[in-house]
Amino acid sequence: MGEFLQYVINGLALGAIYSLVALGLVVIYRGTGHLNFAQGEMALFATFGAWWIYDRGVTMWFAVIIATVFAFIGGAVIEFGLMRPAGKKSPLAVVVVSIALFQGMNSLTNLVFKESSDGVTFQSLFPNEPLDFYRLSGETIWRFQDLGILVTVLILTGGLFLLFQKTKVGLAMRMVANNPDSAKLVGVSTNKTLMLSWGIAAALGAVAGAMIGGLNANLNIFTMFEIFLLSSAAATLGGLDSPLGALVGGLLLGVIKSLVSNYPKDWAGSGYVNATTAVAAAFVIILIVLVVRPSGLFGSSRVERV
């Protein structure tokens, strides 16, 4: 029992990171109806930026905050300069640009931060010494790192919820997500709102990158790809247009991954369970859910006029 709880606790931290990235995907999907394939790699670039700033001699928190602000600006610029013109061309153009951006941001990171190919040690935002944990009971511990990540994500999610539900800006974002034409007709600048959505998503990604860097104590050119895949799986599971779904989907996936990686210790098949199998298993689960509920657990079905 204690073991089970431990795996769940460990899984929550990783799951929280998936939730954060998934949240970014959901914010953009709600606003534009498109999936941001570059979400992970944009976060990678921002996180390497944070590492670079930290290397210049400031605290990690300061570095991450600066990187997040720049990520926000970068996201808005990408929306304005790339995605909006592409959207005017065709939906397929948006997909192609998104995929090209995915590859491009990864290559850019490799180019600008040469150390990314080998990887760098990443200082965690939270205390991460071997003795930094709470003892819950018996052998079960909760590392400060894991707790810190979970709490940060919950706070950010809560903040986003308040933004959406209680502020005018959030109302504008919900309007544009639901009916962009009507939003224009009540005086919303859809352009500004979409730039804001992209900025928020990029910022969330930057924070997520810092957290995974801290969790792995390492950051390299491949770090964000698997995160992106699993976060998209989480967002799909929860419903691409549901922030709550992103949160639940991410946490669920993280816990499942932790359990699947750790439990079948004595099975004959235990040699087959590794990181990639977990991804495969995640996608199989998603597929099953999509067959039963095509719009995900919490998503809303769209009526398409023929």
Partner 1 sequence: MTVMLDVKDLVAGYGAVQVLEGLALHVNEGEVAVMLGANGAGKTTTMRAISGMIARKGTVKFLGNDITTTAPNEIVRMGIAQVPQGRGTFTDLTVEDNMRAGAYIRKNGSDVDADMKEWYDVFPRLRERRSQKAGSLSGGEQQMLAIARALMSKPKLLLCDEPSLGLAPIITQELFTILGRLNAEHGLSILVVEQNANLAVKIAHQVFVLETGTIVASGTAEEIAADDIVRKAYLGY
Partner 2 sequence: MTVPFTIQQNSPQHWAARTGAVAVLFAGIYYVYLTATTATLQSVTEATIIAIAAVALNLLLGFNGQISIGHSAFAGIASFVTGYTVSQWDWNPYQSLILSVVVCFGVGFLVGLPALRLKGPYLALVTLAVAFVWPTIAAQFLEKKIDDTKLAGLRLDPPGWTGLEGNRADRAIYMYWLGLLLLLVAYIVVRNLRKSRIGRSLVAVRDNETAAAVMGVNLRLTKTITFGISAAIAGMAGWLFAAISDTIIPRNFLILQAIIYLLALFLGGPATYTGPIVGAFTYFFVDRYIRQNVPDWTFLPAIVQGGAIAPLLLSIVVIAFVFVAPFGLVGFFKTQGRRFMNVAPQPLSDPATARLQQHTSAATAAESE
Would you give the binding string for partner 1 spanning residues 242-281, x where CB under 8 A is met? ----------------------------------------
Q: Which of 45, 54, 72, 102 binds partner 2 (CB under 8 A)?
A: 102
Minimum CB–partner distance for residue 172 and partner 2 (Å): 24
Please tell me whether residue 175 binds partner 1 under the rule CB under 8 A.
Answer: yes
Q: Which of 187, 266, 291, 292 binds partner 1 (CB under 8 A)?
A: 187
Neighbouring-strand partners of residue 218: 121
Please tell me whether residue 185 binds partner 1 under the rule CB under 8 A.
Answer: yes
Minimum CB–partner distance for residue 206 and partner 2 (Å): 20
Please tell me whether residue 186 binds partner 1 under the rule CB under 8 A.
Answer: yes
Neighbouring-strand partners of residue 135: 141
Q: Closer to partner 1 at the Cβ: 118 or 304?
A: 304
Please tell me whether residue 56 binds partner 1 under the rule CB under 8 A.
Answer: no
Q: Which of 218, 270, 277, 300 binds partner 2 (CB under 8 A)?
A: 277
Contact 200, 28 (CB under 8 A): no
Would you give the binding string for partner 2 spanning residues 33-52, x where CB under 8 A is met? -xx-x---------------
Q: Closer to partner 2 at the Cβ: 75 or 148?
A: 75
Residue with tokens 């992209």, as numbered in its chain:
198
Please tell me whether residue 270 binds partner 2 under the rule CB under 8 A.
Answer: no
Assign 3-class secondary structure to 247-286: HHHHHHHHHHHHHHHHCCCCCHHHHHCCHHHHHHHHHHHH
Applying CB under 8 A, the residues found at the interface with partner 2 are 29, 34-35, 37, 82, 85-86, 89-90, 93, 95-97, 99-104, 106-108, 110-112, 114, 225-226, 229, 232-233, 236, 240, 271-272, 274, 276-277, 279-280, 283, 287, 290-291, 294, 306
